[in-house]
Amino acid sequence: MNLAVLTKGYRPLVALAAPIAGIQLAQVALTTTDLAMMGLLGVRAVAAGGLSITLYNQLRTMCVGMVTSVGNQVAGAVGRAEARTGDGGLDESGREEVRRILRASFLVATGVGLVAALALAGLSFALTWFGQPPEVLAMARPMMIALAPGLIPMLWLNVVRQFAVGLHRPGSLLGITIVSIGVNAGLDAVFIYGLFGLPVLGLTGVGLATSFVQLLTFLAFLALVRRDRQLRPLLSVNAWQADLDTVKSVLRLGFPISLTYGSEAGITSVATLMMGAFGPVTLAAHNVVNQCAYIVYQLNIGLSQGSSISISRAVGKGDRAGAGEVARRALTLGPAIMTVIGLVYVIAPAPVLKVFLGGDADAGVLAAASTLLLFAILQQYCKGTQNIGVGLLRGLGDTKAGFRMTLIGYWLIGTPVMVVCGYVLGLHGPGIWIGLCAGFGATAVLLLRRFRRQLRPEPDLSNVRMLR
């Protein structure tokens, strides 16, 4: 059997997952641009800006979780329509179901975005209670307030994005996201330095630029969707006409996803705090390696969302065997990609790390990071697999189990292992990463066991009843 035949079954999954991963990578580049612009303003600006972005990203991640299931719901509606029409596509009932999901999702996105924006603005004042230096707070507060409004169009964008992904048309957002990186850098410069007669805003300008880019990106993608012959007839943004039952469905599925995303961000933050106890060299090494792993993680996010959407569509059609095949392919591709990247880490660790540390990297940081990079290989397998597992369960409509499994894996297993290995056994930085691997690995096992049980068809007891 030749390679073309072997890879044929993987092509639909790759075609769906690759644009999603590309979008994720482009969004990482967007925040990297912001950090680079902050660096031009000095160390204090980096400290204040980093604090602002950390809190913004925590809220942003949890907000995105609230609308992540939209793609699954749209794909499920398509699958059910195909089951009715014999793969003939969407009938009028299916089209109206998709429109209901969109209207409800826009209402949820608007409400959640408003609450998050108010929370971020409130946090900018509450930080005085957590012992932050006054000079840092003076710079962070206006930036956080400038970032807050951008959460609303960011969520609108994610609704439209999930709508397009659910209909297996995800690619067009990638180009817009790449263009937005350049637009963001330009607006950063305009607002920071007050070009073209505008006031000089400094660090606050970075927050304002981010909010503008979120709005512009949403409007650009919405315009593209309106021009798409397949997507335009299904697009409905009239949130005020949302059906209450559909709104409840979006919230019921989205809330556990939001908590799951928040839990994952939380254990990473705890690990970073623990690393800080071992000194600035260890913390710097951890931050660099964590950024490497974070970039690679976006590839697994693409696989997770792509496989999740495909499973929702298969289940909607009643094809549980097809859903199992999608899961097998995702769990084959993920480790294969991690193996290739792991080999790069082993063969050429210094060039990888110097991308972030520069050519004249501190010898101590480089040595510590080279050691942690080896642990990052195992962590990528564990974290990537658990993320795919969350997506597989979401494809079956099970979002609550993912949150429960992360509570067990992250907090009952991973965190105690971090404490024991890092502090009690004196392994320091490597011990913390062992704990991360244990937490993500345990979560992956629990999620995949749950998926196998959920996918198993119900036994047919009709013959038994007849015999009785």
Angle 316-162-79 from CA coordinates, rounded to 5°: 15
Under 8 Å between Cβ of 357 and 366: yes
Residue 4 has pLDDT above 60, yes or no: no
Q: How far apart are CA 378 and CA 436, in angstroms?
A: 10
Under 8 Å between Cβ of 394 and 452: no
**pLDDT score at 465:** 44
**pLDDT score at 164:** 87
For the segment 407-443, what is each residue's pLDDT rounded down to a tens digit? 899 999 999 999 999 989 988 889 999 999 999 999 9
Nearest to 192 by CA among 212, 180, 214, 208: 208
Ramachandran angles phi, psi of 194, nearest 5°: 65, 45
**Between residues 400 and 382, which one has the greater pLDDT?**
382
**pLDDT score at 357:** 64
**pLDDT score at 47:** 64
Both structure tokens of 445: 């096992």
Under 8 Å between Cβ of 303 and 388: yes
54, HSE (Cβ side, Cα atoms, 13 Å): 13
**pLDDT score at 130:** 63
Residue 406 has pLDDT above 80, yes or no: yes
The Cα diameter of the chain in Å comes to: 87
Under 8 Å between Cβ of 296 and 380: yes
Residue 269 has pLDDT above 80, yes or no: no
**pLDDT score at 463:** 47
**DSSP one-letter code for 233:** G
**pLDDT score at 50:** 66
- pLDDT band at 104; cut points 50, 70, 90: very high
**Between residues 444 and 238, which one has the greater pLDDT?**
444
Residue 460 has pLDDT above 50, yes or no: no
Number of neighbouring beta carbons within 10 Å of residue 330: 26
Residue 116 has pLDDT above 50, yes or no: yes
Number of neighbouring beta carbons within 10 Å of residue 328: 12
* Chain mean position to CA 58: 11
**pLDDT score at 3:** 42
**Between residues 139 and 22, which one has the greater pLDDT?**
139
Q: What percent of the chain has pLDDT over 70?
A: 88
- pLDDT band at 388; cut points 50, 70, 90: very high
**pLDDT score at 358:** 60
**pLDDT score at 101:** 92
pTM recorded for the entire structure: 0.78
**Between residues 169 and 299, which one has the greater pLDDT?**
299
Nearest to 102 by CA among 161, 174, 17, 172: 161
- pLDDT band at 108; cut points 50, 70, 90: very high
- pLDDT band at 6; cut points 50, 70, 90: very low
Ramachandran angles phi, psi of 242, nearest 5°: -65, 145
**pLDDT score at 5:** 41
Under 8 Å between Cβ of 143 and 204: yes
Both structure tokens of 352: 């990888």
Rounded to the nearest integer, the mean pLDDT of the chain is 83
**DSSP one-letter code for 229:** T
For the segment 326-374, what is each residue's pLDDT rounded down to a tens digit? 889 989 888 998 999 989 988 988 888 876 666 556 677 788 888 898 9
Give me the amino acid identity at 157: L
Residue 117 has pLDDT above 90, yes or no: yes
**pLDDT score at 435:** 94
Give me the amino acid identity at 308: S
For the segment 119-161, what is each residue's pLDDT rounded down to a tens digit? 999 988 877 776 666 777 788 889 889 999 999 999 998 899 8
